[in-house]
Structure 1
Amino acid sequence: MGKILVIGAGGQLGQCLKTVANRRGIDEISFPAEQEANILNEEGLNILLQHEKPKYVINCAAYTAVDKAEDEVDLAKAVNEIGAGNLAEACKNSNATLIHVSTDFVFEGNEVKLLKEDDIANPINVYGVTKLAGEKLVESILPEHFIVRTSWLYSEYGNNFTKTMLKLGAERDELNIIADQIGTPTYAIDLANAIFDIIALESNAFGIYHYSNEGITSWYDFAKAIFDISKTDVKVNPIPGSAYPTKAIRPAFSVMDKSKIKNTFNITIPYWRDSLVECVNAINRN
């Protein structure tokens, strides 16, 4: 399999990769601290990769505060675009393959259809614009790349919708949740497994792939499922997105077609609700 280096190791997906690597007995893997692996520091990245000599680099570092990005445009661009380019350059210099994690938010999401990898990307917020620019930079610099777009990521680590709902559900009797944004929640542990599956095959089927859990839901139904599984007694009211205006516009429908990743790498993808049960159990254990 070769040595693996994880950039952005402290984040949600980085922590899930660490957990899954332990479970799978992957020991040729390193998770450098952020100061050692700052994607805005080109020289530092080159030194790190020359020293570690990884065969694969997984980039989990991203600016993901979707609403804040509307104000912090330069910072979002620096991390999501320039940082991705810096890492692609460093991988090129040390002959490493890059696995770069991207998002369903590169799409406008204004039609009810499954989104394929080659569909036209037309992001409607700063976060999506900067993530798409990062993808394009990676593609232009480094042929040996896998770009994995994912959606609605959650886990027992970091800050995410599932953990927020569990916290709010314990504090309140009633919650209003948006019901007209449709997508697929993705358990970051499942995504981590899929990334290691791709690496294990040592494939050179480079390019863009879509990965989320199976199924389709709304934020409202996702919240209902969280409360149902965790046996939390809270009233959930469906509301339209227009009743809860946010700084950044979200895609109304961003369900991705996963046929390509399943067929290319023979990956089995769990149904979103089954994975949610696993995650809620893990949170309860912690």
Structure 2
Amino acid sequence: MTPKKTSKGMVAGNVIMWVVALLFLFPAVWIVLCSFKPGNELFSLPPTLFPKNPSFSSYLTTWQQNNFLHYFVNSMIVAVASTLITLLINTMAGFAFAKYRFKGRDFIFMALLTTMMLPTEVIMRPTFTVVSALGLYNTLWGVIIPPIATPTGIFLMRQYFMGVPDSLLESARIDGAGEVRIFATMMVPLAKPVISTLTILSFMWRWNDYVWPMLVISDESKYTMQLAIANLVGELSIDWNTLLCASVISMVPMLIVFALFQKQIIASVMTSGLKEG
């Protein structure tokens, strides 16, 4: 293939990727722009992309009158606490499955993977029964604890640690390092790319979760953002301005988390990992 043809192929590929990216971004951009429109502009015909008279009043109303700051804090508590505990448990479990040999290890891991094939609805009832029995119903801990040990997270961590040479661990043990020190000072730093990926996934899952908080939380003061947003949809009417503003606000934390950890994900793609010498 000639360089000229190669260049044309790269240009065509880039154009296609930009078009696809814009198609995916358009709904989000539309919501953001509509959140600044007054109520009479939202349903005007023909529709306009940019607001003619931009207004921030709906954002002030959303925060002050609808108590969304409180719901935002609840969601942050749930998402941050659940993500931190998820990282701790899944990282340790993945390390154990990858680097330790114990009776029934492979069977336990395969049994864990089979739970990924089960629909979430199947395990909701027994999980709810356990949560109620532990006295966690209608508490934020009832939302935080059940999903922290995710099969997806354990699988990601285990597969990454499998690529770390055993010789590194043996060298550290010969030098007198304990297992806790090896895990904390060697394995965790090496796993930054996959930890960053799991951080984004876990935060996104917990922040956007609606069904499980709806089952566990009955007190409105403990609502998360998603429950509060769903509550704006009334039987006879919908407050579209507040709904759009709340939706935009709910996007911000995920964008921030992705911006903070994207460098680690890019680094994991650019590097080939460790190889056994």
For normalisation by structure 1, the TM-score amounts to: 0.23
Q: Which has the larger radius of gyration?
A: 2
Q: As a proportion of its length, which structure holds more strand?
A: 1
Tell which has more relative contact order, 1 or 2 (C-alpha 8 A, sep 6+).
2
Specify which structure has the higher proportion of helix.
2
